[in-house]
Every structure is written in C-alpha cells, then in structure tokens.
Amino acid sequence: MSVTDVTFAGSIPTIYEKYLGPILLEPYAEDLAGRLRQISQGRVLETAAGTGIVTRAMVKSLPPSVEIVAIDLNQAMLDLAAARPETPRVTWRQADAQNLPFENAAFDAVVCQLGVMFFPDKISAYREALRVLKPDGFFVFNVWDRLDANPVSRVVAEAVANLFPEDPPRFAERIPFGYSNPDRIRADLQQAGFGQIQIETVEKVSRIPSPRYAAIGFCQGTPLRSEIEARAPDRLDEITDKAAEALAARFGRSSFENCMRAIVVTARH
C-alpha cells in the first residue's frame, strides 16, 4: 500500500464529498447510524471519518446525550467535515486508527464506514478498536463487497485500466474493493481478540444524475486520481471523459441506477 493510496488532499476531499457522497456513501451511512440506535448515552468513536458523512447521520439519529468523537488520518478531510454547520457537538481530531490516542474502555461503540480497507495493518486497527471499547461495547463497520458486485465502480475501474494497458491503475481492486472476503475479515477480527462477530451483506441503490457526474467522482475524487496523474499528468479531464463514455455505453446517457453491495460487520468482545 503506497502513500498515495491513503492520501485525500488538494481538491480530492471536496470532489469526493460532492460527487461520491450522495451516490455511494450516504445510503450506507444511514444504515450504519441506524445500528447505533440502542445507544442513549455515552461516547461513540468514528474512525476514518472522512468528510463526516456518517458523522452527520449519527448526529441526526443519536440523542444529544451521546458524545461523538470523529478521527481521520487526512486533515484536509477533517477540515471539510468540521466546516459543516450540522455537527457542532462533534469533536474532530486527526489520528491514526491503528494507534488511537484514547484511554482503554473509553467508548460504547466504534464505527467505521468504508475505511478499514485503507488501514495498512488492519489487525492493529482492530486491536485498537477493541482496546478502547467498554466491555459491553461493539465495533460496527462496513467494506465494499467484490468489485463485480458493484457494477458502476467496476465499469470505471476497467475503463481507466484499459487506457494504460502496459501499466494499468489498480487502485479500485487493490484498496476499496480489495478486502471483501468474509472469512478473512472474520479471521482478522478473531486474531485481534474479538469473540462475537456478525457479518452480513447489504445492498443499496442510489440514483446517479449522469455518467459524467459519476466519472468525476471516481476519477478526480479518490486516490485513483493520483494514479492517473502519475501516468498522464495532462490527461485527467480526457480520461474522466473516457470513463463517462464507458458508463454511458453501459447505463445510458441520462440518470441511472447505481446498484451497490457492501459487507457490514458487527463485532464484540
């Protein structure tokens, strides 16, 4: 895993929030926030909070008596999240999920949306989540299922890869869709010390306004952008257009449905 695989900087956070938030992240954010409804007081930690999409969903669904702490490795993402007016009671902090700056048994729940795939040492991150959980607390997170189960993402990944046959960018396969084996996830959690583990698949459907809308999000609002620019510094817009053409060929030129599938995991001591 390279530094660029986990770096969201420059204009990436803003594009990520604007274009990918509504079509990829918000449906699963509502799902995760809904899994915390039994918490009426205490503290919740969100790791890899990004631009705060799950954070805002939790603010809406959890009572004011629940303190929310949100961390991310990328300060640029946190800056964008903290600037939103909907989260005045959230404590934002730059921190590494693999080395949490919190005391033992400090939280009633730890939440992570589509972030563990980016952790170089997932077992260390799981151990840290377990360490900061109260004995009756739980860790809930989601990851993308296989790329084949997420056709819009697959079309973009293949379209971009085909433009560089000698050195295809493989960010999608390597990171966001590279941790989709339930057996591996369960084994990693068990090695970290979790005893009760529930794994399920959750399908969601969103509406994408246009092929170019999705292409901008994927090509310019994720670390795939760094892979494209490393190979063709002056062709980002052209390659975004090519990805949009591939989406239009598959789904049509107007708005279309985005069928997605993720894996949701709940783990306890």
Q: Do residues 6 and 79 lie in contact, with contact meaning Cβ atoms separated by under 8 Å?
A: no
| Token duo for residue 226 | 């760094």
Q: How many domains does the chain have?
A: 1
Q: What is the pLDDT of residues 3-61, one digit of tens each?
A: 454 567 688 999 999 999 999 999 999 999 999 999 999 999 999 999 999 999 999 99
**Which pLDDT band, with edges at 50, 70 and 90, does 99 fall under?**
very high
The whole-number average pLDDT for the span 173-187 is 97
The whole-number average pLDDT for the span 197-204 is 98
- pLDDT of 10 reads 85
Give the domain CATH number at 43.
3.40.50.150
Q: Could you tell me the residue range of the domain that residue 20 belongs to? A: 3-268
**Which pLDDT band, with edges at 50, 70 and 90, does 162 fall under?**
very high
Q: What is the pLDDT of residues 71-82, one digit of tens each?
A: 999 999 999 999
Cβ count within 10 A of residue 84: 16
Q: List helix spans (H) across 35-147.
A: 53-61, 75-82, 122-132
Q: What is the pTM of this model?
A: 0.95
Q: Do residues 15 and 216 lie in contact, with contact meaning Cβ atoms separated by under 8 Å?
A: yes
